[in-house]
A and B are shown apart, each in its own frame.
Chain A
Amino acid sequence: MDYLYFAVRRVLQAVLVMFVISLIGFSIQDNLGDPLRELVGQSVSETERQAMRDRMGLNDPFLVQYGRFLGNAVQGDLGNSYFFKKPALEVIAAKFPATLELVIGATLIIITFAIPLGVYCAIRPKSWFAKFIMGFSIVGISVPVFLTAIFSIYIFSVELGWMPSFGRGETSDLLGWQSGFLTLDGLVHLILPSISLASIMMPLFIRLIRSEMMEILQMDYIRFAWAKGLYPKRVWFLHAFKNTLLPVITVGGVQIGTMLAYTILTESVFQWPGMGFLFLEAVNRVDTPLIIAYIIVVGLIFVVTNTIVDLVYTWVNPTVKLVGGTS
């Protein structure tokens, strides 16, 4: 019952944040570019313009216009892209699989490496391998993601010629989803971009897991677990790791947003045809509806993932007090 109350409140909060984002989106639309000029060009007289503005509702009060914008947005109509002459949301949806597959690739790499490495560094903090990992991770944090991307292209594509340098390669249709996961060419194209994207987040997670776990290992209940004569594996991977996981989940949720920002950089270097690359093009073309659609979609991804992370966190953690929560 408590949990249900918490969940409802948390979802309402998410809706509120989406409202604010839509308001921001709308004010951008209101101030950026002139939809009339995009439609008819410069050649129309002032009186005709005014008549058209009236007809299009551009002279209506702010709230009326916002209401209309919101109504359309809820139905999935965020206007037509000036450049593509197609619904903006449709244009973005077509690019979404590419970005998602990039994020999935990077996430898999992060999970596969960060968890064992972080746990190892916490258990054996004095070993030379742990010191090497920690040293390497600070280098990893200090190399911007676009540099990793550029240098991986330079080394593996230009110098060695082992990997393709840009694009998604061959994709195949998977239930209407253009996927690069099913072809060898698609997978090969995914390697460098996902490694680059993972390279910036991985050190963060290794360090986070290490420091959280080292703190947990000092706890009385871990000492008690040793005193019970449990096997080391059980103490480390159940008693300590389960407690480590909770803060890692919260930070991980927040990092999904950061990862989306890094996809823009990665996609731009690899000319990866995803949402981020599309957004940069839209900015250069001042394609307002597309810019707004991107902001709203990204906002939605943020809000939804944060809400899910919060709900899962509360669900997993039996001791959490059901007050507050982050939005």
Chain B
Amino acid sequence: MALLTVRNLEVEFPLGRKTLQALYGVDFSLEKGERLGIVGESGTGKSVAAFSILNLLSKPGRISRGEILFEGSDLATLNDDAMRDIRGNRISMIFQDPMMTLNPVLTIGTQMIECLKAHRNISREAAREIAISKLKEVMIPSPENRMDSYPHELSGGMRQRVVIAIALLTDPSIIIADEPTTALDVTIQAEIMVLMLELCKNNSVGLILITHDLAVVSQVTERVMVMYAGRVVEEGPTRDVIQNPQHPYTRGLIKALPQENRPGSRLNQIRGSMPALDAIPAGCAFNPRCDYADGECLKAIPPLLGKKGHKATCLHTDRIPPFESARQEVST
């Protein structure tokens, strides 16, 4: 039994007269200490999938079907207080923009200690000790002094380190990180990513990394899941998926990477753009943008099929030419 199992998850946003569906029957699982990447353009539902695990969907979003099994309970139907005790305790989150994630009017110390006190029956002093030790782990210089700082006194990179320290405070079994480096300076991105990877490995914490950056995924995660228009279109071991993509969308994403393009040549963009939630094409949602689509692709939504854990929802996997990338692996 996996640590976290998501089955047939559907999420919808009731907006006045119409209801938009953001996720369609999403299945995935995470083993203890495993690192999973969820990849896709913005609007594919990857963040919705992540936020629905902790029932933190922005209003009026709600889980309309499916189950989220974690440590013996179904998070989709859990009551508010039981859910509260899972959040930030068993499963924590790291948000995209560290400038916006920390409360501007509370000190770093307050924001760390309150998290421990919400889940454990410990004294302020003990909580403070733990907080300082976690700040050390994320390599923040003179952590005792930083405890009394306000967020605006720290740089973006430092703030994200604090957020990571908060996520680690209660020794959770899963961390969900939503584009944790996108808002940071390019020079700091790699540093933060390496830090997260090491902390997860050392503490055997499971990681769900949501990103649009395939380079980061190949560097950090063991398994990857590609989403398009609210569905999983491909999943498998990271190395397999990147070297031998089975779905034309994944292939397009990899070909669009700057490393895959010769200097001076045109970038290999995927033509067209993501469909809006209320205008998803019939059949395979990717068919209008696909080079290999035919009449079959318009008829039905293809199932997720494949072997050895590497699956994709494409009827024409055989037509897709082998990936002729000159490199064996995408590196940063």
Q: Is B a genuine binding partner of A?
A: yes
- B6 interface hit (Cβ, 8 Å): no
Please determine whether A220 and B88 come into contact, CB atoms closer than 8 angstroms: no
Contact A228:B87 (CB < 8 A) given known A234-B118, A319-B150:
yes
Q: A: which residues have CB within 8 A of B? A: 218-221, 223-232, 234, 238-239, 242-243, 246, 316-319
For residue A227, which residue of chain B has the nearest CB? B93
Is B56 in contact with A223, judged by CB distance below 8 angstroms? yes
Q: Are B104 and A226 in contact (CB under 8 A)?
A: no
Nearest-neighbour CB distance to chain A for B61, whole angstroms, equals 12
A223-B95, A243-B105, A319-B104 as given contacts; A228 in contact with B166, CB under 8 Å: yes
The CA-CA distance from A306 to B77 in the complex, in Å, is 51
The interface residues of chain A lying within 8 Å CB-to-CB of B88 are 227-230
Nearest 5 CB-CB pairs, A to B?
Answer: A229-B88, A228-B88, A229-B87, A220-B100, A227-B93
Q: What is the bound-complex CA distance between A316 and B84, given in angstroms? A: 30
Binary per-residue interface labels of chain B (94-122) against chain A in the complex, 1 for a CB within 8 Å, 0 otherwise: 01110011111110000000110011000
Chain A residues, Cβ within 8 Å of B54: 227
Tell me whether A229 and B105 are in contact (CB under 8 A).
no
Question: Is B86 an interface residue, CB under 8 A from the partner?
Answer: yes
B106's contact among A220, A229, A242, A316, by CB below 8 Å, is which?
A242
**Distance, CA A316 to CA B106, complexed state (A):** 11
Interchain CB contact under 8 A, A228 and B95: no
- CB 8 Å contact bits of B106-150 with A (1 = contact, 0 = none): 100000001100110000000000000000000000000000001
In the assembled complex, 18 residue pairs joining A and B whose CB atoms fall closer than 8 Å, in A order, are: A218-B58, A220-B95, A220-B97, A220-B100, A224-B102, A224-B163, A227-B56, A227-B95, A228-B88, A228-B115, A228-B166, A229-B118, A229-B119, A230-B115, A242-B105, A243-B104, A316-B105, A318-B152
Query: Shortest beta-carbon distance, A2 to chain B, in Å?
Result: 13
Q: Determine if B71 is an interface residue (Cβ-Cβ < 8 Å).
A: no
Q: How many A-B residue pairs have CB under 8 A?
A: 77
Residues B103 and A246 in contact, CB atoms below 8 Å apart: no
- Judged by a CB distance under 8 angstroms, whether B85 is at the interface is yes
**Known A229-B87, A231-B118: A318·B95 in contact at CB below 8 Å:** no
A319 to B96, CA, bound (A): 21
Which of B's residues lie within 8 Å of A, judged by CB?
A: 54, 56, 58, 84-89, 92-93, 95-97, 100-106, 114-115, 118-119, 150, 152, 163, 166
SS of A interface (majority): helix
Are A229 and B56 in contact (CB-based, < 8 A)?
no
Which of chain A's residues has its CB closest to B59's CB?
A218
Q: Are B115 and A243 in contact (CB under 8 A)?
A: no
- Write out the residue numbers on chain B whose beta carbons fall within 8 Å of the beta carbon of A319: 104-105, 150, 152
* B89 smallest CB distance to A (angstroms): 5
**In the complex the two chains form, what is the Cα distance from A225 to B115 in whole Å?**
9
Given that A220-B101, A225-B103 are contacting pairs, would A231 and B84 also be in contact in the complex, using a CB cutoff of 8 Å? yes
CB pair B114 A230 closer than 8 Å: yes
The minimal Cβ–Cβ distance linking A244 to chain B, given in whole angstroms, is 10
**Distance between Cα atoms of A232 and B152 in the complex (Å):** 25
The reply to whether A229 and B95 contact each other, CB–CB distance below 8 Å, is no
Residues of B within 8 A of A218 (CB): 58
The complex places the Cα of A200 from the Cα of B51 at a distance, in Å, of: 43
Bound complex: CA of A231 vs CA of B89, how far in Å? 13
Residue of A nearest to B169 (CB): A228
**B54, B58, B114, B152: most-surrounded residue (chain A CB, <10 A):** B114
Decide if A224 touches B95 in the complex (CB within 8 Å): yes
CA distance A319 to B154 in the complex (A): 12
Complex contacts, B86 vs chain A, CB 8 Å: 229
Residues of B within 8 A of A221 (CB): 100-104
Q: Which B residue sits closest to A216, measured CB to CB? A: B103
**What's the least CB distance linking B279 to chain A, in Å?**
26
Q: Is the CB of A243 within 8 A of B103?
A: yes
- Smallest CB-CB separation from A217: which chain B residue? B59
Closest to B105 in A: A242
In the bound assembly, the distance between CA atoms of A15 and B151 in angstroms comes to 35
Q: Is the CB of A318 within 8 A of B150?
A: yes
A245, closest chain B residue (CB)? B105
Known: A223-B58, A227-B87, A318-B152. 17 other contacts (CB 8 A): A218-B58, A221-B100, A221-B101, A221-B102, A223-B56, A224-B93, A226-B56, A227-B92, A228-B88, A228-B92, A229-B84, A229-B89, A230-B118, A234-B114, A318-B104, A319-B105, A319-B150
**A246 interface neighbour in B58, B105, B163, Cβ under 8 Å:** B105
**Residues of A with C-beta under 8 A to B101:** 220-221, 224
Q: Please, which residues of chain B bring their CB within 8 A of the CB of A226?
A: 56, 87
B56 contacts across to A, CB distance below 8 A: 223, 226-227
Q: Please, which residues of chain B bring their CB within 8 A of the CB of A238?
A: 106
Interface pair A318/B105, CB less than 8 Å apart: yes
Q: Could you say which residues of chain A place their CB within 8 Å of the CB of B104?
A: 221, 243, 318-319
Chain A residue with Cβ nearest B90 = A229
Min distance, Cβ B101 to any Cβ of chain A, angstroms: 5
Q: Which of B100, B102, B115, B163 contacts A229 (CB 8 A)?
A: B115
Report chain A residues within 8 Å CB of B106: 238-239, 242
Q: Let me know if A229 and B85 touch, CB within 8 A.
A: yes
B102 and chain A: residue at smallest CB distance:
A221
Residues of B within 8 A of A243 (CB): 103-105
